[in-house]
Every structure is written in structure tokens, then in C-alpha cells.
Homo-oligomer: A and B are copies of this chain.
Amino acid sequence: MNVKDFQWKEGMTVRDLVQQYQHVGFQSVELARASDVFVKMKKNNAKIFLTFTSNMVTSGLRGFFAQLIKLKIADVIVTTVGGIEEDIMKSMGETFSIGSFNTDDVELHEQGINRVGNLTIKNESYMNFEDWINPVLQKLYDKQKRWAVSELLHEIGMQLNDENSILYQASRNNVPIFCPSITDGALGFHLFLFQQKNPDFIIDVVKDFGNILFVTSYDEKKAVIALGGSISKHHAILCTLLNGGAEYAVYMTTAHTTSGSMSGATTNEAKSWGKVKDDSDVATVIGDVTIMFPLAMIRALEVLKKEELLE
């Protein structure tokens, strides 16, 4: 395939743009390839694992993830607990603000404002989250004492009432949400305090390993969309590994391979493990997910819509 001169045309759509990217070079080519893999995984009825880290839920991508669940693009979600907390906060009406990467963090601290890159979250939002979650935990405990994580999150999602919420859409669309480190956040603290009062309250992470394992099968086609790194990425591909490997995989990350981190591990490295199959369709795109992912996915959605493959 040849490089082609890029040209702007008035009224250009995202689809037009990504179409041109496949002839531009460097990461634009990889992004266009990722978009193709998105189309193929849906067309070929693969079970799609969508993983993301909590900072993407802090960002406005949260609404997009909820939309993708509704559109039946994501069949399984894996994320970290920060993302779950923030999805709930936003469902409760809390707002996060756009700030700056360069700020006086001591001053922010004095104002009760917490920074995530160029975004900020108020302490107040965490307090409101606490007020909301405690009665929910009580209600769930009254129902049963021992909860697998994804079952707990399903029930929590049923308590929410926000179309833009990941947990809301996941609950309504029977998309399980896995979170292998459920205690690594404010929720962990509230779970701990609750268990102090109710020692027979158990979060069963081991059972949930079975749940993610059986969400798909060896014979089924599997796909992974891993946004960012961390254990959310690792957990999904560990599961596809144990089920024979994924047919499709797209990794989007700012991390590089050179330090040997999971975050920077490529779809090629995944082949050595059998996390993705030797002859799978894969793409690794290096760059900020808040820009890359909407671009590649929107173009895929447009294609799928036109081919009447979207519900």
C-alpha cells in the first residue's frame, strides 16, 4: 500500500478522516488498522472484552463506554475500582472539572480538590459517594453474605438511573463488569468498615475468576480492546489465554515496550503467551486514548451502522 497525500475536504466526517489515515503513516496507519479490527470483531461475532483504567472514566469517555455497551459492542468489561467509584459519582450528579497539568497542588489540596492529570475531583464527591454506597452495601448484605465482585457490581448498577453510566448500561444489558482489585480505592475502605460491623460479609474474588473464565469458551471467538494498561488489560488477556487465545486484539496505550511493563506490552508480545492467537488480527496504537479511541471506534460504528450490523 502506498502513502497518499492527505487532503482536507469541507464538511469532512470522522469516517472520511480515518479512511485517509490508512495512507498517511506512523500511528495514523495503526489507528486505521485498529478501526478495521473493531469492524471485524463485531462482524464475526467475537465476544468482545473492553478494558480501561479509571482515569478514562474520570474523563468524558465514560459516556462513550456506556453507549458502546448499549450498542452491544462490549460484551465484557474489565476495569479498576476507581472507574467504578467515579461512574457512580457521576450518576449521582457529581461533576468533574477540567483544569491544568501545571497547578499548585498544595493549593488544590487546601481547597479539597484532587487532581488527575488535567482533571479535578472534589473531596465532596467522595463524601457523597460514601453516603450513597453505605445503604446499598447494607441492602446487598441483607440479600446475601458472600458476593462475587461482578455480581456485586451488577446489583449496584441496578440501583443507578443514568443512561450515561457504565454500570447502569452493563446491568441493563447483562454485560458483566470485572474488577480484580475491588479494594484498591475508596470503595475498599467502605467495604472494610462494613465488614468490621459485619464479619461474615465476604467479597469473593476467587469465585469471580471463575465467572470471567466462563463468560466465554474455548470455541467462541474472542476479542480484546485494551485501553491503557494495568490489571484491567492483564486480566482480560489472561482470561482469553486460558480460553485458547483471542482472535482479535487492539491495544491503545501511551506506554512503550522498552521497560517490559504490562502497560506497554504489544499485541505481538501477547502472541508469545498465546494471549492472542498466532494468526489473529491485531493492532497496537501508541497515543492518548481520549483522542485515539473515539476516532477509531466512531469510524467502526459508522461502517457497522451502514452495513446494518448495529442494533
Contact = CB atoms under 8 A, between A and B. Distances in A.
Nearest to A60: B24
Interface in A177-193: 180-185, 188-189, 191-192
A108 interface: yes
Interface in A192-225: 192, 195-196, 201-210, 213
A192 B209 contact: yes
A7 B10 CA distance: 23
B203 A183 contact: no
Q: What is the count of identical protomers in the complex?
A: 4
Contact of A305 (B10, B27, B67): B10
A55 B201 contact: no
Nearest to A24: B60
Given A26-B55, A26-B59, A256 B286 contact: yes
Given A118-B25, A271-B105, A260 B59 contact: yes
Interface stretch (A38-46, A90-98, A128-136, A153-161): A90-98
A80 interface: yes
Interface string A1-26: 11111111011111011001111111
A228 B53 CA distance: 16
Contacts of A98: 1-3, 22-23, 25, 29
Interface residues of A, number: 128
Contacts of A289: 26, 259
A144 B96 CA distance: 45
Contacts of A290: 21, 24-29, 259
Contacts of A16: 14
A31 interface: yes
A259 B2 CA distance: 18
Interface in A26-73: 26-31, 53-55, 58-64, 66-67
Given A7-B67, A109-B278, A259-B288, A1 B61 contact: no
A40 to B, nearest CB: 19
B288 A95 contact: no
Contacts of A117: 25-26, 257-261, 265, 269
Nearest to A286: B258
Interface string A263-297: 11100111111100010000000111111101101
28 contacts: A3-B98, A3-B119, A5-B64, A5-B66, A8-B294, A8-B297, A10-B301, A12-B302, A17-B298, A24-B294, A25-B55, A26-B119, A26-B260, A31-B291, A54-B262, A58-B260, A82-B234, A102-B268, A114-B272, A116-B260, A180-B184, A183-B209, A184-B234, A185-B234, A192-B207, A229-B263, A254-B256, A256-B258
| 3 residue pairs, one from A and one from B, having the closest CB atoms | A5-B63, A117-B260, A25-B59
